[in-house]
Amino acid sequence: MPRLPLLVAAVRKEAADVVAIDLAHPAGRPLPPAAPGSHVRVRVGEGPMRQYSLVNGPDDAAAYRIAVKLEPASRGGSAAMHRLAAGDTVLASLPVDGFPVDWTTGPLLLLAGGIGVTPLLGMARHAQARGHPFALHYFARSAGSAAFAGTLRSAEFAGRATCHFGLDADAVPGRLAAILAAEGGRGTHAYVCGPAPFMDAARAAGERALGAEALHFEYFSAGETDGGADRALTVRLGLSGGTLAVPAGRSILSVLLENGVEVDCSCLEGVCGMCVTEVLAGEPDHRDHFLSDHARAAGDVMTVCVSRARGPELTLAL
Ligand code: FES
């Protein structure tokens, strides 16, 4: 994928632990357009490539606009992004249309949990510009932790965006169910992004109210991936030969890279699919949010950044 150096044009504090960052062409040229729901992959220095959803509306080619939440367990990605200042340079991919919108359906119901608001804000802006009916519901622990709360409460989204801040966690599934139930029978499609419990609650209620085919999800973090009880395992390199020991608590990917085995990667969280690798023998223990149920069941590919093995050994096509 082409990568381009982009200039940090602006950094703004958007919430207690969230900064909004505008990335512009170094020569001030317009940037290639991005579909709603797109993300860009960004690298700071020698750190990992991480993906961030764009909040851009259409006709906004002056910058790719992202927001980054500081993760307490950051392995360098979000912390490095929070240290950026105007004038710095990062390496970025072109936009990837990872969470596409189907404009042939009825209204869009956009359900955002926390920093999951970013792709949905972009979708809301595109829907607004096209005159496509939509409603956005934004759940956050508090107003202070809610990025873009001011934007969503502005005249631009009057009557279209509803904030649900400060709800008890136990109350969120019921509120989601009520919102989804009210949309039944209108051809509504729901787009959901948020932490795993939020996604699970939206999926359960959405399947009842709208049907599974009308639900679209984007997992923004695999911090919720089942960590399970990691066991040490042996990885055999089926093409190049060699055997690697993967200790408990280390990812297969990190051991591969450490031993000079080249594997493309980006998110390191089982979300982007860049590290998908063919499995020649052994049974993967899938812990990603990328592969389809069909691909998981087949068991012939796996994301080596987060997934492990059900048995003591795997042979990969590397
Ligand atoms: S690096 Fe993104 S899924 Fe593995």
> How many angstroms is it from 17 CA to the middle of ligand 1?
24
Query: What does the block give as tokens for 110?
Result: 């956009």
- How far is 311 from 314, CA to CA, in rounded Å? 8
- How far is 75 from 80, CA to CA, in rounded Å? 9
For the CA of 272, the nearest atom of ligand 1: 2
Q: Within a 10 A sphere around the Cβ of 263, how many other Cβ atoms?
A: 16
The answer for residues whose C-beta is within 8 angstroms of residue 315's C-beta and 6 or more apart is 235, 236, 237, 238, 279, 280, 281, 282
For the CA of 51, the nearest atom of ligand 1: 2
For the CA of 273, the nearest atom of ligand 1: 3
Beta partners for residue 309, in sequence order: 284
- How far is 288 from 228, CA to CA, in rounded Å? 12
> How many angstroms is it from 174 CA to the middle of ligand 1?
33
- How far is 13 from 147, CA to CA, in rounded Å? 9
- How far is 274 from 303, CA to CA, in rounded Å? 8
For the CA of 267, the nearest atom of ligand 1: 2
pLDDT at 295: 84
> How many angstroms is it from 317 CA to the middle of ligand 1?
17
For the CA of 275, the nearest atom of ligand 1: 4
Dihedral over alpha carbons 297, 302, 305, 310 (to 10 degrees)? 60
State residue 244 phi and psi, 5-degree precision: -125, 140
pLDDT at 265: 86
Beta partners for residue 6, in sequence order: 90
CB 66 within 8 A of CB 5: no
Task: Give Cα 218 to chain centroid, integer Å.
Answer: 6
- How far is 83 from 303, CA to CA, in rounded Å? 30
> How many angstroms is it from 290 CA to the middle of ligand 1?
8
User: What is 257-272 written as a DSSP string?
Assistant: HHTT-----SSSSSSS
Query: What does the block give as tokens for 194?
Result: 């948020």
> What's the predicted TM-score (pTM) here?
0.73
In the chain the domains, ranked by start, together with CATH numbers, are 3-93 (2.40.30.10), 108-220 (3.40.50.80), 233-316 (3.10.20.30)
Q: pLDDT tens string for the chain (318 positions)?
A: 557 899 999 999 999 999 999 999 999 999 999 999 998 988 888 776 788 999 999 999 999 999 999 977 655 678 899 999 999 999 998 898 888 999 999 999 999 999 999 999 999 999 999 999 999 999 999 999 999 999 999 998 999 999 999 999 999 999 999 999 999 889 999 999 998 889 999 999 999 999 999 999 987 654 333 333 467 899 999 999 999 999 887 899 999 998 999 898 887 888 888 899 999 999 998 888 888 878 888 889 999 998 999 888 999 999
State residue 113 phi and psi, 5-degree precision: -120, 115
pLDDT at 76: 61
For the CA of 253, the nearest atom of ligand 1: 4
pLDDT at 153: 92
> Residue ranges of the alpha helices (H) in the chain?
77-82, 117-130, 149-152, 172-181, 196-209, 252-258, 293-298
Query: What does the block give as tokens for 195?
Result: 């932490």
Ligand 1 mutation pick, 272, 296, 308, max ligand atoms within 8 A of CB: 272
Ligand 1 mutation pick, 75, 303, 308, max ligand atoms within 8 A of CB: 303
Residue whose CA is closest, atom 3 of ligand 1? 270
pLDDT at 231: 79
Report which DSSP code applies to 310.
Answer: S
> How many angstroms is it from 262 CA to the middle of ligand 1?
14
Residues with CB under 6 A from ligand 1: 265-268, 270-275, 288, 290, 303, 305
Edge-first strand order for the sheet with 233-237 is: 243-246, 233-237, 313-316, 276-281, 301-303
> How many angstroms is it from 264 CA to the middle of ligand 1?
8
Instruction: Indicate the SS3 state at residue 301.
Output: strand
